[in-house]
């Protein structure tokens, strides 16, 4: 399967947008900085995402981008298709000319894999990715709080001083 950085970056940028848009439109400069994606590349991607009606742009001061639909109604397959990213495991790009200008013996295998991948990506929504990311962030925060409590407890301080 050839899923290039275009598709990966588009999904990452859309996830960033979905997680932050509750505070108002999100700037591409902000996404660029947080995700280490070139601003000019994001501008190209968001032009395609806007034409596919996945995002809306807001002009002027305080402008940026918002989702055009609720995150639960946007699939990863929608995002990848919007940026013209092919999900194709065939060697021939579906043209059936992979072996001496003829269909190769494993063409159906790769075509079925393409369909399976696309079906999977169509079932994964931006909303589910947001939920998973927020759960990870909450777990990391809880872990840091617990670590801080252990490090600042009297017992930890006593053991640290007795070790000296």
Is residue 153 predicted with pLDDT exceeding 70?
no
Query: Does 104 map to a domain?
Result: no
Higher per-residue confidence, 137 vs 163? 137
Considering only CA atoms, which of 132, 105, 32, 17 is closest in space to residue 68?
Answer: 17
Mean pLDDT of the chain: 86
Q: Give the whole-number percent of the chain exceeding pLDDT 70.
A: 86
Burial of 149 (0-12, 13-18, 19+ CB in 10 A): exposed
65 in any annotated domain: yes
**Longest pairwise C-alpha distance within the chain:** 78
- State residue 120's pLDDT score: 95
pLDDT over 90 at 72, yes or no = yes
56: which 2 tokens? 């809306």
From CA 47, how far away is CA 13, in angstroms rounded?
13
3-state secondary structure of 55: strand
Neighbours of 138 (CB within 10 A): 10
Give dist(CA 140, CA 41) in Å, integer: 30
Which CATH number does the domain housing residue 63 bear? Answer: 1.10.10.10
Q: Is the dihedral of CA 92, 96, 97, 100 positive or negative?
A: positive
Segment 3-37, tens digit of pLDDT: 778 999 999 999 999 999 999 999 999 999 999 99
Torsion of CA 46, 47, 52, 56, to 10 degrees: 70
Owning domain of residue 25: 5-86
Instruction: Give the model confidence (pLDDT) of 108-151 as tens digits.
Output: 888 888 889 889 999 999 999 999 999 998 888 877 777 777 77
Is residue 110, in this structure, part of any structural domain at all? no
Q: CB–CB of 16/55 below 8 Å?
A: no
Tokens representing 135 are: 């759960």
Q: What mean pLDDT is predicted for residues 62-86?
A: 93
The answer to whether residue 99 is domain-embedded is no
71-75, 105-109, 134-138, range with greatest mean pLDDT: 71-75
Cβ atoms 58, 64 nearer than 8 A: yes
pLDDT of residue 159: 53
Residue 141 within a domain: no
Tell me which residue has tokens 């790009």: 93
Structural domain count, the chain: 1
Asked whether residue 118 is assigned to any structural domain, the reply reads no
pLDDT (mean) for 74-94: 83
Give the pLDDT confidence score for residue 158 in this predicted structure. Answer: 55
pLDDT at position 99 is 66
């Amino acid at each position: 399967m050839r899923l290039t950085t275009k598709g990966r970056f588009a999904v990452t940028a859309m996830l960033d947008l979905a997680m932050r848009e509750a505070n108002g439109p999100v700037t591409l400069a902000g996404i660029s900085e947080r995700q280490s994606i070139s601003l000019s590349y994001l501008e190209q991607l968001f032009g395609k995402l806007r034409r596919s009606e996945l995002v809306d742009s807001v002009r002027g001061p305080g402008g940026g981008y918002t989702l055009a639909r609720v995150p639960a109604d946007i699939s990863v397959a929608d995002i990848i298709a919007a940026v013209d990213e092919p999900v194709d495991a065939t060697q021939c790009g579906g043209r059936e000319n992979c072996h001496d200008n003829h269909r190769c013996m494993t063409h159906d295998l790769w075509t079925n894999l393409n369909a399976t991948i696309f079906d999977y990506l169509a079932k994964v929504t931006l909303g589910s990715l947001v939920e998973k990311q927020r759960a990870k962030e909450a777990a990391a925060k809880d872990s840091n709080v617990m670590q801080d409590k252990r490090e600042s407890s009297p017992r930890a301080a006593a053991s640290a001083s007795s070790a000296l």
